[in-house]
Structure 1
Amino acid sequence: MKKITKQQYLKPNDAVSPPDPSGEVWTPPQPSKGERTFKLTSKGSVRGFVVLDGVRVNFESRAEYKACLVIRSRPDTLRVVEQSPRVEYVDADGKLRTHVFDLKVFRRDGSVVAVDVKPAAKVESSGIREMHSLIARQISPKIASQLLVFTERMYTRSDFYNAELMLGVARQHCAEDDEAILKLVARMTGPMKVADLVGKSGRKGYGFNAVVRAISAGRLVMTERRRIDYAAVVVPAPLH
């Protein structure tokens, strides 16, 4: 084992961007906004939570975890709340039932989508579409304007890779890096490779992270559905 001196050990790591000044060492996430709670320990499924937009979002399965990240990573999504909404409806036999959706998705256009996450192979046998059809005729548009059955066929491996990348990079916010990239975005007149954008920024790897955050925020748009990497091509998002 190679020994190092105390001076070498205490040398700042220039591969890690210093954090923005803050009055707090750590800001805990807000508690879950979900209408249904459950124990995170389970022998039969993967359970846990992820912090999205400063709020704790719990998940009961790997499929729900992926759905949370993929849906949140889409530019038209504002925020995601798990285990919501809870609705009452009358079933085909005239009985009053209660159903809690897996996700409540708030979109930037003001609409709300109630989502159930299901493996594609189980959608037909579960009867979830028939239940959604009944609920759709009874639910108030104030609660949800659209119902969706979300399966693994609705996203690619690249979509999930990008979603996890966006989540990780969001934790490394640096105002100077973001400002440098956004100044370049404002001057873009057409498509540009991520590598060229990062190079022009002079921020190296930090510039790449800032590009990812710009894509996540909807300031940049990928020209094709693929992984976000240096070879990817982006364009400025159209102004509304």
Structure 2
Amino acid sequence: MKKITKQQYLKPNTAVRAPTPSGEVWTPPQPSKGERTFKLTSKGSVRGFVVIDGVRVNFESRAEYKAFLVIRARLDTLRVVEQSPRVEYVDADGRLRTHIFDLKVFRRDGLVVAVDVKPFAKVKSSRILETHSLIAGQISPKIANRLLVFTERMYTPSDFYNAELMLGVARQHCPEDDEAILKLVARMKGPMKVGDLVAKSRLKGYGFNAIVRAIAAGRLVMTERRRIDYAAVVVPAPLH
């Protein structure tokens, strides 16, 4: 193993910027917008929470966490609320029941989708489709326009990787980086590798992060469904 001197060890890394000064007062995240709360401790499932856009988002399983991020990353999604909506319906035996969906998705086209997250292998045994069939005929369109059972077969590992990546870089506030990348995007004549765009920006890793934010915002489009990395190819989004 090569040894280094104390002076070499303490030499500033020019590839890493100085941290952005933080405010003197910490603002706690807003509480969950969901209609159901639960204890985070459980022996039977992976529970937890994550702060997204300044709001606490609770999840009752790893599958719910993945579904939330993947759906949130879609360009046609406006926002997502977990553990909502709560609806009442009459079951096949005439009894009044309450059902709380895992996610409520507000889409940019005005549709509101109530989503239940299930492993594909348990969709049939859970009889969730029968439950949705009953609810569909009774739910008010003011609550949801569409019902969906979301399984792991509806997204790829790359979709989830990209969704987590987008969430991570979205927490960075670097408007100058974003502006520099968007100027390059405006001059693009066709497809370009992410690595080449990073090189043109001269921002190194910070340029890559800005490109990810441009993809998340719909300013750049991937040419194929894959992970966002330096080898991925992007094109400017068509103007509307």
Counterpart of 1:168 in 2: which secondary structure?
A: helix
Of 30-39 and 178-187, deviating more is 178-187
Match of 1:151 in 2: 151
Distance 1:232 1:140 in 2: 43
**Letter of the aligned partner of 2:172 in structure 1?**
Q
Match of 1:99 in 2: 99
Give the deviation of 1:60 after TM superposition: 0.5
Match of 2:236 in 1: 236
Distance 1:13 1:114 in 2: 48
Counterpart of 2:78 in 1: which secondary structure?
A: strand
Give the deviation of 1:14 after TM superposition: 3.6
**Letter of the aligned partner of 1:216 in structure 2?**
A
**Does the aligned pair in 2 maintain the 1:85–1:114 contact within 8 Å?**
yes
Of 203-212 and 69-78, deviating more is 69-78
**Letter of the aligned partner of 1:4 in structure 2?**
K
The 3 A distance-change label for structure 1 pair 17 and 70 is farther
Deviations 1:43-81 (A, max 9, x none): 111110112222111000111111111111111112111
Match of 2:63 in 1: 63
Counterpart of 2:6 in 1: which secondary structure?
A: coil
Distance 2:24 2:70 in 1: 30
Deviations 1:121-144 (A, max 9, x none): 000111101111111111111211
Distance 1:180 1:26 in 2: 30
CA RMSD, aligned part only?
2.0
Counterpart of 1:131 in 2: which secondary structure?
A: helix
Q: How does 1:9-24 map to 2 (within 5 A)?
A: 9=10, 12-18=12-18, 23=23
Of 148-157 and 15-24, deviating more is 15-24
Q: TM-score, normalised by structure 1?
A: 0.92
**Does the aligned pair in 2 maintain the 1:19–1:172 contact within 8 Å?**
no
Distance 1:188 1:20 in 2: 31
Identity of aligned residues (%): 85
Distance 1:82 1:237 in 2: 30
Q: How does 1:199-238 map to 2 (within 5 A)?
A: 199-238=199-238
Give the deviation of 1:2 after TM superposition: 5.8
Deviations 1:172-218 (A, max 9, x none): 23111111111112222321111111111111110000001111111
Distance 1:72 1:18 in 2: 31
Match of 2:34 in 1: 34
Counterpart of 1:113 in 2: which secondary structure?
A: strand
Counterpart of 1:104 in 2: which secondary structure?
A: strand
Query: Which consecutive residues of structure 2, in runs of 5 or more, have no partner in the other structure?
Result: none
Deviations 1:99-157 (A, max 9, x none): 00001111122221111000000001111011111111111112111111000111111
Match of 2:6 in 1: 4
Aligned residues: 238
Counterpart of 1:49 in 2: which secondary structure?
A: strand
Deviations 1:20-52 (A, max 9, x none): 566456443211100000011111111101122
Distance 1:25 1:174 in 2: 21
Of 138-147 and 148-157, deviating more is 138-147
Q: TM-score, normalised by structure 2?
A: 0.92
Query: Which consecutive residues of structure 1, in runs of 5 or more, have no partner in the other structure?
Result: none
**Does the aligned pair in 2 maintain the 1:219–1:236 contact within 8 Å?**
yes
**Does the aligned pair in 2 maintain the 1:19–1:173 contact within 8 Å?**
no
